[in-house]
Amino acid sequence: MNTELIKHPATLVWTLLMIATAISWWLGADGGTVKSLTIPTLTIALIVIAFIKVRFVIHYFMEIRHAPLALRLVCDAWVIGVCVAIIGLYWFAPTS
């Protein structure tokens, strides 16, 4: 291990990602019934957390935050587009 390396911003990001995963794990456990959230709120929260995580991976791990504007825009458009579409399809599901 090298202390200088550990100070890299990716380390902080990684810690946050691990915490976010733990929160999702806890939220989704036991059928989500023990928490005082309604089922749609819970699911949308899980999806939003996932895509925030994805954006962190893209920007800090894949280093897209230093990439040319076009590549940054394409990646962010994917994150936002897929996230919104998933939530939309979930929200307007025929049998809910």
Partner 1 sequence: MVSSSKNHVPGEVGIWVLILGDMVVFGLFFLVFVYYRGFDIELYTQSQKALNQNYGAFNTLLLLASSWFVVMAVESARADHGRRAAKYFGLALLCGSGFSVVKVVEYSEKLAAGLTITSNEFFMYYYIFTGLHFLHVVIGMGVLIFLIVKTRAHTFSRQDMVAVESGASFWHLVDLLWIVLFPLLYLMK
Which residues lie near partner 1 (CB under 8 A)?
2, 5, 8, 10-11, 14, 17-18, 21-22, 24-25, 27-29, 31-32, 39, 42-43, 46-47, 49-51, 53-54, 57-58, 60-64, 66-68, 71, 74-75, 78, 81-82, 85-86, 89-90, 92-96
**In the complex, what is the shortest distance from the CB of residue 89 to partner 1, in angstroms, rounded to a whole number?**
4
Q: How many CA atoms, within 13 angstroms, populate the side-chain half-sphere of residue 13?
A: 15
Scored b (16 or more CB within 10 A) or e, 12-40 reads: ebeeebeeeeeebeebeeeebeeeeeeee
CB closer to partner 1, 36 vs 66: 66
